Chain A
Amino acid sequence: MNEETRGVTPSGIRKIILEQSYRAHVGHIGSALSVADILSVLYGGVLKTGGDRADRDRFALSKGHAALALYAALHLRGDISRAQLDSFCGEGSKLGVHPESCLPGVDFSTGSLGHGLSMAAGAALAARLQGSSRRVFALLSDGECNEGSIWEAAMFAAHRRLSGLTAIVDLNGQQAFGYTRDVMDMTPMADRWRAFGWEAHETDGHDAVALRRLLSAAPAADGRPRAVIARTVFGKGVPFMENKIKWHYWPMSEDEFRQAMAAVGGAQ
């Protein structure tokens, strides 16, 4: 971790998620909180995002509804200004609920689930064709894996041995209407990826050391793309939100905001 990336802390990301969602009065808080540690690791040194466009890594936030967590990471890295961050969900803003590639630092526009991994597979194929060692990461939600297109992309990436591609599945166990095990049970998630020809690893999605080790490991020598199944807690860091379906869409009241900020260590 260098000077530039040191500030991309999980608590910094969580604090911004809460501040901005409270200010803009929008939801998707729980989904953003569950990936704060993953984005902290990605933007805290794993992703090569600076320098020449040809050699920088690509990232697709396939679960686009967690864009606020991405904006927080980009802000903490210094890629977007405080003023830009404060435009979140404003009129004419480039920072909407879902990320748009017109915002510097966002490679792919997402928001419709099941799209990001296909684009990431194309980006990984492009890197190979161009002889570049740049890598491609896609962050998926577990509910998103209901989409058939995810598995189209999975079989393609395995067939083409796109080892430069890593899919991170945010296994927070929730989707819009309830727990994934009740809506559409995807267990055993890691075995599903393995069956599609991927190298799959399960980890605690809030363990920065484990995440960093998996995400910065060299691509598989046998060409398999890599799936990191990150077990996370929906709403992680804010006890009254954790594993509560309500926080998929619900915005915070003033009281809830104060409690939440105190929980993540932000003074209010």
Chain B
Amino acid sequence: MRGAFVKTLIELAAGDRRVLLLTGDIGYMALEPFAERFPDRFFNVGVAEQNMLGIATGLAEAGFVPFVYSIATFVSLRPYEFIRNGPVLHSLPVRVVGVGGGFEYGHNGITHHAVEDVAVMRAHPGMTVVSPADHEQARAALLATWNVPGPVYYRLGKDDRTVVPGLNGRFEAGRVQSLGGGKDLLILAMGSVAKEAAAAAETLRGKGVACTAAVAASVHPAPAGDLAALAGGFRHVMTVEAHYVNGGLGSMTAEVIAERGLPCRLTRCGVSLPPDGVSGSQGYLHRLHGIDRDSLVATGLRVVRGGA
């Protein structure tokens, strides 16, 4: 997604002089194509994320569309108050780009694991939150949302090869993208862990569970109408996210189900353990938190066959 983001941003910048890129000294071997093409519109502001958000607010007030880039934890949490009192409070088009949502920086440890970024961004009514599932969808999402009014948070992955089968780069703001399937169980996923959800759905179908997988990349404002129409046809819904179960996709889905009075049971799959200092690969951490394909299959079977 990182490569797709930079490639697409270069196209946008070529067509619109308002587009700028700021980084907090992150993106070595990724952002260079933009920097080389637009040296006057690329700013490495150093390791100073608060200031980067403040600068972007000043730039946006004057009419620019600044993209600010860093690792998801650093760009969302350290300058969180500057995001709140800056682009959110001023309703300015600053684009906050967090790379490595969830456990993508697995071995780097909890300081690099973005597992609450969606929760804190989603709290703001004026913020748009986008968490694509693969690089094709990341490109489509950027093209669809880069020029919306007000701030946007993009939660990107690093993988520019894997695609979620059946997604075909679809994205529409305020919509959920269904990957198709039957009516026993809906598995709704956010971010790059969607590929695990899609694989689990495929396995479950092989085991006789009529299972539909869907991707919610347009996380906030909640795609409430679309999600209600989709989830309304199921007795069981599972959400899958490399994020705390509170505040992210699972919470958003719970809100929609409760507020619409949908007759379905929700199981939230995500991070529910407190950080304990353990790190490992992304795959290891997905297994640890029960959001790898095998764990999701086991949870899906338990949910559908009762006793969950």
Contacts and interface: CB of A to CB of B under 8 A. Distances in A.
Interface of A: 58, 100-101, 107-112, 114-115, 117-127, 129-130, 136, 148-149, 152-153, 155-156, 159-160
Nearest to A119: B58
- Chain A interface main SS type: helix
Interface string B149-180: 00000000000000000000000000000000
A115 B64 contact: no
Contacts of B56: 122
Contact of B62 (A100, A111, A117, A123): A123
Given A121-B51, A152-B48, A112 B85 contact: yes
Contacts of A109: 85, 89-90
B53 A118 contact: yes
A123 B58 CA distance: 4
Interface string B35-72: 00000110101101011011111111111101000000
A69 B34 CA distance: 44
Given A122-B55, A122-B56, A152-B51, 17 more contacts: A58-B58, A107-B61, A108-B90, A109-B90, A110-B85, A119-B54, A119-B57, A119-B61, A122-B54, A122-B61, A126-B62, A130-B62, A130-B63, A155-B46, A156-B48, A156-B51, A160-B43
B81 interface: yes
A155 B48 CA distance: 10
Closest 5 CB pairs of A and B: A118-B54, A122-B58, A126-B62, A152-B51, A122-B55
Contacts of A153: 51, 54-55
Given A111-B85, A129-B64, A124 B51 contact: no
A257 B40 CA distance: 55
Nearest to A109: B89
Contacts of B270: none
Contacts of A155: 46, 48
With most chain B CB atoms within 10 A of its CB, the pick from A119, A122, A149, A159 is A122
A118 B61 contact: no
B86 interface: yes
Contacts, number: 98
Contacts of A123: 58-59, 61-62
B86 A101 contact: no
B82 interface: yes
Given A152-B48, A152-B51, A156-B51, A120 B58 contact: yes
Contacts of A58: 58, 61
Contact of B86 (A107, A119, A121, A159): A119
A153 B82 CA distance: 13
11 contacts: A117-B54, A119-B61, A122-B54, A122-B55, A122-B62, A125-B59, A126-B58, A129-B59, A148-B50, A152-B46, A153-B54
A126 B51 contact: no
Contacts of B45: 156
A249 B205 CA distance: 66
B50 A118 contact: yes
B86 A152 contact: no
A129 B59 CA distance: 9
B81 A108 contact: no
B85 A118 contact: no
A149 B50 contact: yes
A149 B58 contact: no
A117 B59 CA distance: 13
Contacts of A100: 89
Contact of A118 (B40, B63, B82): B82
Nearest to A153: B51
A160 B40 CA distance: 12
B66 to A, nearest CB: 8
A100 B85 CA distance: 10
A126 B63 CA distance: 8
A168 B64 CA distance: 26
B58 A112 contact: no
Contacts of A121: 51, 54-55, 58
Given A109-B90, A156-B46, A115 B54 contact: yes
A149 B54 contact: yes
Contacts of B48: 152, 155-156
Contacts of B50: 114, 118, 148-149, 152
